[in-house]
Amino acid sequence: MEILIVDDSETSQLLLTTVLSSAGYAQLHSASSYETAHDTLIACLEGDRCIDLILMDINMPGVDGIEATKRIKADPELARIPVIIVTGVEEEERIEAAFEAGANDYIRKPISRIELLARVRSAIRLRDEMEKRRDRERELEDLTEELRELSNIDGLTSLGNRRWFDERIANEWLRGRREGASLALLMADIDFFKRYNDSMGHLEGDNCLKQVARTIRDAARRPADFAARFGGEEFVLLMPHTDLEGAKYVAEGIMQKLAELAIKHPDSDIGPHVTLSIGVATTHPDMGLDQQTLVAAADKALYRAKNSGRNRVETETA
């Protein structure tokens, strides 16, 4: 427990220090002005320690206790520290001003030992309860965010799911429209996947989906790139600030990596290994279009790839 006493009177400092130390509060700091008090607060923060309570005299030359409290409460790193105003004035307006500045409690001079210790314990207890509540709120926020992320993840492949993709493409569409930047979408479909499931079984089918998902995810090398499972054996890769040539290059890289994996496909018309058909589309988002225009263009390119013999990349400009 560390307590900071801010009072320009050495007599008051000594009295408060004596009462508090006799009650077992050993970590006591004293300051005769706001400036000195602030230096002490910052030094404690930099030393990875904290002041647990401030006893603030209301009447001090220069920056008085009310203004000092206001400045402390305006600092996000110091605002959580409770402040008890120590006052010898009887003016209700001054005490009210101290509370408006952020003071948590007050005690009148001359100091009563019993009242002082009671108010110190009360302030610390209130601070601890507020800290616990903030911790619970942070835990709840973290849990909420974790649940939100889990609800956006495809359970099998760990890629984004269709709902998250819809959110991301809507956001990237708006961003691309603001920035005048191109937006590319890659849509991939595993060739003859139903036959793969029929011949290899669903467990191997799931394993195949996972390997293809990893290959597509690894192609998303920039922070804004986003890979998702679009549905079934279809995947998408959203690439902001990417033109048609760049997106086609990424698609061809995915096909090359998949070829290197050489996942066996015993019932494909193309060859002995799993292959992809990929449609690539790009556009510059503007007011006259929406994101579904880009999705439709990528789907059109994918359809053309599948109907042109599969295991290839086709492109389309939205």
Residue 190: name the closest of 156, 225, 237, 232 by CA: 232
Q: Is the pTM of this model over 0.85?
A: no
Q: Residue 140: pLDDT band by 50, 70, 90 thresholds? A: confident
Residues 138-147 have a mean pLDDT of 81
User: Residue 12 has what pLDDT?
Assistant: 92
Query: How many CB atoms are located within 10 Å of the residue 292 CB?
Result: 14
CB 254 within 8 A of CB 188: yes
140/168 Cα distance (integer angstroms): 25
Radius of gyration of the chain (CA): 33
Calculated CA dihedral for residues 305, 307, 308, 313, nearest 10 degrees: 10
More confident residue, 89 or 129: 129
Question: What's the one-letter identity of residue 32?
Answer: S
Q: 188-198: string of b/e by CB count within 10 Å (b at 16+)?
A: bbbbbbeebbe
**pLDDT tens across 263-272, in order?**
999 999 999 9
CATH architecture of the domain with range 2-141? 3-Layer(aba) Sandwich (3.40)
184/239 Cα distance (integer angstroms): 5
Please state which of the ranges 117-121, 126-130, 199-203 shows the lowest mean pLDDT. Answer: 126-130
42/56 Cα distance (integer angstroms): 17
Query: How many CB atoms are located within 10 Å of the residue 252 CB?
Result: 14
Contacts of 127 (CB under 8 A, 6+ apart): 52, 53, 80, 81, 82
| Cα angle: 139, vertex 140, 146; to 5 degrees | 90
Give the pair of three-digit tokens for residue 33.
Answer: 């002005």
| CATH no., domain 162-317 | 3.30.70.270
| Cα angle: 299, vertex 304, 309; to 5 degrees | 130
250/265 Cα distance (integer angstroms): 24
Q: Residue 287: pLDDT band by 50, 70, 90 thresholds? A: low
Catalytic residues: 233
CB 294 within 8 A of CB 242: no
**pLDDT tens across 20-77, in order?**
999 999 899 999 999 999 999 998 888 777 899 999 999 898 999 999 999 999 999 8
120/32 Cα distance (integer angstroms): 20
Residue 191: name the closest of 226, 219, 232, 248 by CA: 232
Are domains 2-141 and 162-317 of this chain identical in fold? no
**What are the domain boundaries of the chain?**
2-141, 162-317
**pLDDT tens across 291-305, in order?**
999 999 999 999 999
Say whether pLDDT at 231 is over 70. Answer: yes
